[in-house]
Amino acid sequence: MYPDDLRYSSEHEWARREDGRVRVGITQFAAEKMSDVVFIELPQVGAKISFMQPFGVIESVKAVSDLFAPVSGTVVEVNTVLASTPEVVNSDPYGQGWIILVDPADPAELQQLMTAEQYRKVVGGAGA
Amino acid sequence: MGNGLKRTPLHGRHAALGARLVEFGGWEMPVQYAGIVEEHRAVRTAAGLFDVSHMGEVEVEGPGALASVQRLITNDAGRLAVGGGLYSPMCLPSGGIVDDLTVFRTGERRYLFVVNASTADKDFAWIAGHTVDAQVRNISAGWGLLALQGPRAVAILARVTRADAAALPSFHIITQAEVAGVAGCFLSRTGYTGEDGFEIGCPWDQTPRVWDALLEAGRSEGLTPAGLGARDTLRLEAAYMLYGNDIDETTTPLEAPLGWTVKLEKGEFIGRDVLVRQKAEGTARRLVGFEMTERAIPRHGYALRADGGPAGTVTSGTFGPWVEKSIGMGYVARAHAKPGVRLGVEIRGKTAGAVVVKLPFYKRS
């Protein structure tokens, strides 16, 4: 399940343009691979993040993974719901499970990300 | 095979169930099916079925069997009647732990060791090297092993065997049982989850038949196949040691919380001299359990701090799915090994707070 209106990174984050801002989360593929998300380390509002550099950490019961920024810019909002219920990343990765909202420094970076069609090929239809 | 890893007789079953397979101790094993948290909760509330066929079995038989077992382990096998068993470390002369294992007396002069997968070959060599006047056989290749764990385990097992499993006391074994129509199985009331349950040994090629029958019998009881991921979180909540993480050849049973398995009064055994001295003097360090006091998850290898300085290393850590806390264990200096002592865990360059607590983290009521 990979909505056509999103862009996708090779590290399995999604990016959605919303009124000049970019909302970021992890894809259904990543959510299923992590399976039981129990902790997410979020950046502070105001933090500067850089294209395809780590901006946070996501932990399942078993594993620790970095979160990579699909766009450079300034974090303007973080999903505070994740502090108490990180499992919404598993149940609703494109909705309630969003992670950060970014004021992008260079929206053209999004063109370097994959389309849904390209991303589906990368993950081989898994999670569809 | 392709990847050079050993496979249990249930490999095809795991693949068909959609398990995620990982390397563990040279074996390709299922780490999870539906998900670690779901499997973990199933074991605490109903039952889980684990494939632990990678574990090793070593048999010692002959006139010198008991004396050899007594030399090899720290616990006291002298009082075991046929059908009885116990948990014990097996030590080096240094007191370091070769492996932790279960031993059952399966005959007048016959004992069965069930040992860890990653150490099975080393254990066999060690046992054979210190056995006098008895035969030692590595029978690992002939035995599949299943762990049926959880409050519904007794009821499920009763549907596939006539052996009186319900009456079997903890740490006892029934040999030559028929399970799911398969003759020559053994049943022990043991496990690694903190729940009631059984380990079921079956002839290697017959293991899928027993697995299928148990899953079928357990369907209405909420039985789920469970992987090594849940096995690890379950055992950590119950504060069971994981060999290679919490204990190894550099740690002794008295540094680990295994003093209850060290029976100095039983007579001579390998490692006794060091353990006598450690018991008299107290060990310099001890393994403790701790809970995080802020939102963070400790992991194996993270550094521990106390009183502003280095204090040790995390040996095991996870988010405990049942206790719903971040928990861990690690070795610290004796002065810090008391419930209530504040520790820090270094996580990605920051120090997160933790507090020493009494083990285990979970005890079934």
ipTM: 0.84
d(CA B165, CA B186): 11
- Element (DSSP H or E) covering residue B365: none
Q: What is the mean pLDDT of residues B107-133?
A: 98
CB contact under 8 A, B295 and A39: yes
Q: Note whether A92 contacts B: Cβ–Cβ < 8 A.
A: no
- Residue by residue, DSSP assigns B236-260 as HHTT---BTTTB-TTS-TTTTT-GG
Domains and CATH numbers, chain A: 7-120 (2.40.50.100)
User: What local confidence, expressed as pLDDT, does residue A127 receive?
Assistant: 44
Q: Which residue has the tokens 């039981």?
A: A36
- Please give, rounded to a whole number of angstroms, the shortest distance from the CA of A64 to a CA of chain B: 9
Cβ atoms of A119 and A94 within 8 Å: the answer is no
Residue showing tokens 């043991």: B190
- Write out pLDDT tens, residues B47-68: 999 999 999 999 999 999 999 9
pLDDT score, position A1: 86
pLDDT 10s digits, B288-329: 999 999 999 999 999 999 999 999 999 999 999 999 999 999
pLDDT at A50: 97
A71-123 residue pLDDT tens: 999 999 999 999 999 999 999 999 999 999 999 999 999 999 999 999 999 99
Closest alpha carbon within chain A to B31: A62
Whether residue B35 is predicted with pLDDT greater than 80 in this model: the reply is: yes
- B199 pLDDT band (50/70/90 cuts)? very high
Q: Which of chain A's residues have a Cβ under 8 Å away from the Cβ of B35? A: 35-36
Q: A114: how many CB neighbours lie within 10 A of its CB?
A: 18
Spatial neighbors of B92 by CB under 8 A, at least 6 apart, are B98, B249, B270, B271
C-alpha closest to that of B126 among B58, B228, B217: B58
Q: What is the pLDDT of residue B177?
A: 98
User: What angle, rounded to 10 degrees, do the helices at B65-72 and B120-129 form?
Assistant: 120
Facing residue for A38 by CB, picked from B229, B232, B297: B297
B31 with A60: Cβ contact below 8 A: no
Largest interatomic CA distance in chain B: 62
- Is the backbone peptide bond immediately before B298 cis, with ω within 30 degrees of 0? no
Q: Which residues of A touch B37 (CB under 8 A)?
A: 35-36, 38, 61
pTM score, two decimals? 0.94
Residue the block writes with tokens 């948990």: B87
How many residues appear in chain A? Answer: 128
| Domains in chain B, CATH or no CATH each | 11-50+141-237 (3.30.1360.120), 284-357 (2.40.30.110)
Structure tokens at A49: 């993040």
Is residue A61 within 8 angstroms of chain B, CB to CB?
A: yes
Q: Which helix (DSSP H) or strand (DSSP E) does residue B205 occupy?
A: none
